[in-house]
Amino acid sequence: MLTQAPKGTKDIFGAEIAQWQIVENKMRNLCRNFGIDEIRTPVFEHTELFLRSVGDTTDIVQKEMYTFFDKGDRSITLRPESTAGAARAYIEHGMFNNAQPTKLYYIAPTFRYENTQAGRQRQFHQFGVEMYGSYSPALDAEAISVAYELIKDMGINSVELRINSLGCPECRGRYNKMLRDFIGDNLDNLCHECKSRYEKNPLRVLDCKEEKCKKIIAGAPSVIDCLDEECTEHFETLKEILAGMGISFTVDPMIVRGLDYYTRTVFEFVTNTIGAQGTVCGGGRYDNLVEECGGPKTGAVGFGLGIERLLMTLEAQNGKSEYKPFRHLYIGSIGKKGFIKSQAITFELRKMGIIAECDTVGRSVKAQMKYANKIGAMYSLILGDDEVDLGKASVKNMETGETTEINISEIGAKMKELLNL
* Contact with ligand ATP (CB under 6 A) among 279, 288, 313, 380: 279
* Contact with ligand ATP (CB under 6 A) among 137, 253, 282, 284: 282
* Contact with ligand ATP (CB under 6 A) among 19, 102, 121, 265: 121
Cis ω for the linkage preceding 101 (within 30 of 0): yes
For the window 286-305, what string marks contact with ligand ATP as x by the rule CB under 6 A? ------------------x-
Shortest distance, position 32 Cβ to ligand ATP, whole Å: 23
> How far apart (Å, rounded) are the C-alpha atoms in residues 375 and 106?
34
* 225: nearest Cα among 171, 280, 290, 154: 171
* 176: nearest Cα among 159, 190, 197: 197
* Contact with ligand ATP (CB under 6 A) among 258, 275, 376, 412: 258
What is the number of alpha carbons within 13 Å of residue 207 lying toward its C-beta? 21
- In terms of DSSP H, where are the helices of 4-128? 15-33, 47-54, 59, 83-92
Residue 103: beta bridge partners? 131
Shortest distance, position 120 Cβ to ligand ATP, whole Å: 4
- Name the one range near ligand ATP by CB under 6 A: 84-92, 163-171, 212-220, 273-281: 273-281
- Name the one range near ligand ATP by CB under 6 A: 33-41, 118-126, 221-229, 317-325: 118-126
Binding residues for ligand ATP restricted to 305-344, rule: CB under 6 A = 306, 308-309
- Compare residues 50 and 132 and give the one whose CB is closer to ligand ATP: 50
- Name the one range near ligand ATP by CB under 6 A: 88-96, 120-128, 327-335, 409-417: 120-128
Q: What is the DSSP string of 98-114?
A: SSSPEEEEEEEEEE---
* Contact with ligand ATP (CB under 6 A) among 88, 103, 112, 396: 112
Shortest distance, position 194 Cβ to ligand ATP, whole Å: 15
Residue 124 within binding range of ligand ATP, rule CB under 6 A: yes
Binding residues for ligand ATP restricted to 152-191, rule: CB under 6 A = none
Binding residues for ligand ATP restricted to 48-67, rule: CB under 6 A = none
- Compare residues 77 and 279 and give the one whose CB is closer to ligand ATP: 279
Residue 109 within binding range of ligand ATP, rule CB under 6 A: no
- Compare residues 112 and 328 and give the one whose CB is closer to ligand ATP: 112
* Contact with ligand ATP (CB under 6 A) among 26, 28, 46, 120: 120
- Compare residues 175 and 262 and give the one whose CB is closer to ligand ATP: 262
* 270: nearest Cα among 151, 187, 353: 151
Query: What amino acid is encoded at 291 in this protein?
Result: E
Shortest distance, position 130 Cβ to ligand ATP, whole Å: 13
Q: What is the DSSP string of 196-257?
A: HHHHH-GGGGGG---HHHHHHHTTPPPGGGG--HHHHHHHHHHHHHHHHHT---EE-TT---
* Three-class secondary structure of residue 375 per DSSP: coil
- Name the one range near ligand ATP by CB under 6 A: 26-34, 121-129, 240-248, 284-292: 121-129
358-367, long-range: CB < 8 A, 24+ apart: 358/330, 358/331, 358/332, 358/333, 359/332, 359/333, 365/332, 365/334
Cβ atoms of residues 50 and 289 within 8 Å: no
- Compare residues 209 and 324 and give the one whose CB is closer to ligand ATP: 209
> How far apart (Å, rounded) are the C-alpha atoms in residues 330 and 375?
9
Residue 130 within binding range of ligand ATP, rule CB under 6 A: no
- Name the one range near ligand ATP by CB under 6 A: 13-21, 100-108, 162-170, 278-286: 278-286
> How far apart (Å, rounded) are the C-alpha atoms in residues 293 and 296?
9
Running DSSP on this structure, what letter comes out for residue 97? G
Shortest distance, position 209 Cβ to ligand ATP, whole Å: 8
* Three-class secondary structure of residue 170 per DSSP: helix
Shortest distance, position 361 Cβ to ligand ATP, whole Å: 39
Number of residues located near ligand ATP, criterion CB under 6 A: 18
Cβ atoms of residues 23 and 310 within 8 Å: yes
Shortest distance, position 279 Cβ to ligand ATP, whole Å: 4
CA distances to 34, 124, 221 from 143, in Å: 9, 22, 28
Residue 231 within binding range of ligand ATP, rule CB under 6 A: no
Summarize as ranges the residues that interact with ligand ATP (CB under 6 A). Answer: 81, 112, 114, 119-121, 124, 126, 258, 277, 279-282, 304, 306, 308-309
